[in-house]
Amino acid sequence: MGTEIERKFLVTHTTWKQAAHGVRYRQGYLVADGERTVRVRVAGERAYVTLKGRTTGISRAEFEYDIPLPDAAQILDALCPKPLIEKTRYRVPHQGLTWEVDEFAGENEGLIVAEVELSDEAQTLELPDWVGAEVTHDRRYTNASLSRYPYRLWKPQT
């Protein structure tokens, strides 16, 4: 079984973007009920189906498989509830780890989050200077939640 151990943060400024190259993502959810998530994603010219289990702490079971790009496009257009998640993902190295910075578009435009995968939950982490508040445990910032309750609908104080 694969395990994802991840922390997520808001991004405070764009100095990370200077040396980063982004890939466009488009993704939707076939199931997102809190116990499990089934996601279809197009990332550049590749496509995946991902199955995730319930989050415990900052870990959860995760399985990801390549699928044909035309199949993914059809699933996103015909089977996934809207709005889809649209974003550009940048990979940014920092202190031996690769941070993934997601700059959202569409219904979630204006939101920028950074996440980093760890080898274990107790791993120490040195934060880049462009990282702000941690939102790992705030379910609103999961992509599955953003597909149901987009950032543009949030009250200004959030």
Q: Is residue 76 one of the residues assigned to a domain?
A: yes
Active site residue 29: yes
Give CA–CA dist 85/78, Å, rounded.
Answer: 15
Q: Which pLDDT value is given to residue 1?
A: 55
For the segment 38-62, what is each residue's pLDDT rounded down to a tens digit?
999 999 999 999 999 998 888 999 9
In a domain, 158, yes or no: no
- What is the residue range of 55's domain? 3-153
Which positions of the chain have pLDDT values less than 50? 158
Q: What is the pLDDT of residue 3?
A: 85
Name the domain count of the chain.
1
Task: Choose the catalytic residue: 29, 90, 141, 151.
Answer: 29
Q: Is residue 100 part of a domain?
A: yes
Strand partners, 102: 89, 113
Residue 78 CA to residue 52 CA, distance in Å, equals 22
